[in-house]
Amino acid sequence: MGWTGSGILMLLHVFRIATVTLLAVACMFYPFLPGPHDPMADALSTTAQCFGLVGLLLVPLGLGWLAHDWTRRRAGKSGRPVGTSKACYFALTAVCTSLPVAGFTSLAASARALLLGLIVMGLWLYWAAKTVPKLRRLKGTSPLASVHPAPLCLVIVPVVLTALKFTLLPSAVESSRNRGIAAGAAMLADIETYRAAKGHYPVSLAGATNDYRPKVVGIGRLQYEPSGRAYNVSFEQFSDRFGTREFVVYNPLDEHQVYSHDMDRVRLPPRPLRGGGGQYAVHDALHPNWKYFWFD
C-alpha cells in the first residue's frame, strides 16, 4: 500500500519532533558523557533542563489544542456539524506563552554562557517572525486534516525533558562522578609513590600540561593541594541541581578541607569537615575517602 501525501507529511512532522527532542536530550546529558572536556557542556545542559521545566507552561495549551482538533475531526467523520476552527487562537496563545519560556531559558543559558543566551533569544525571535504571519492560514482548517505538529511539539518536548531530568539524569550525574573518581586513581598512585620515595607529599602538581584528565565532558581537571598532614585531590562536576556547585574531594585521612571563597583559606583557621567551608551539604561517595560537597 502506497503512502498518501498526508501520511508522508505526518511522518515528516514526527521526524522533526523526534529530532528536536533527541537534540535537547543530548544537550541535557552532554556534560556527564565520557570524552574530552567541553566548557560549553554545562551551559547546554542548563539550557535544556530549564527549557524542559519552564516549557511545562505550554503543555496544557498543547493538550487543549489537540483536544480541539480531535473533536472537530470526529465531528467531521460522523457527519455532525463542526464549528469554526480555533487553531489560530491556540497558535497565537502559544506564541505569546512561549515568550516567557524563551526569556527564562535565555537567562539560564546566559548565566553559564552569554553568547548561548543570546542565541536562544535570537532563535525565538526568528521563529516568532516566521510563525506569526502564518497564523491566519489555520482558520477554517478541515476537520479531517492530519494532526498539526505544533501541539504535539508543545506537549512532547517539555514532558520528555522533565521526565528524564527527574528519572535518569541523577543516575547520569552519579555515573559521571564515579568516572571522575576512577580517573583520579593514577594521580593518587603517583602521589603515594612520590611520598614513599621522598618521605613527604609533593608541594604542588602544577604544570603547563594537564596529564591527569578525568575524561568526562563536564569535568575540567583534577586539582591537587597539600592539606594538613595529607592532601586533597578534587574536581568540580556540573550538578543537575539549579544553583548548586558540586566539588568532589579525596583526602586519605578524611580530613577534607573545602571552601566557598579563596580568601577563606587565609582568613579562616583550619576546621574539621563541615566547618566553615560554606557548603550546604556533604555526601560520602561510593569510593573510600571520597566525598562530594554542594555549594549554593
Written as nine digits, the cell of 105 is: 531559558
Residue pair 120/102 in contact by the 8 Å Cβ criterion = yes
Task: Place 261 in a pLDDT band, splitting at 50, 70 and 90.
Answer: confident
Residue pair 16/149 in contact by the 8 Å Cβ criterion = yes
If we measure between CA atoms, which residue out of 86, 101, 151, 95 comes closest to residue 126? 95
Strand partners, 234: 223, 249
User: What's the pLDDT tens digit per position in 60-107?
Assistant: 999 999 988 888 777 767 766 666 678 888 889 999 999 999 999 999
Cα–Cα dist 70/123, whole Å: 30
If we measure between CA atoms, which residue out of 69, 272, 254, 238 comes closest to residue 169? 238
Residue pair 259/269 in contact by the 8 Å Cβ criterion = no
Residue 290's pLDDT is: 97
Mean pLDDT of 43-52: 96
Cα–Cα dist 239/138, whole Å: 43
Task: Place 1 in a pLDDT band, splitting at 50, 70 and 90.
Answer: very low
Mean pLDDT of 35-50: 95
Confidence (pTM) = 0.86
If we measure between CA atoms, which residue out of 245, 262, 256, 264 comes closest to residue 291? 256
- Asked whether residue 20 carries a pLDDT value surpassing 60, the answer given is yes
Strands, sheet with 245-250, edge to edge from the N-terminal-most edge strand: 223-227, 230-237, 245-250, 290-295, 281-284
Residue 277's pLDDT is: 58
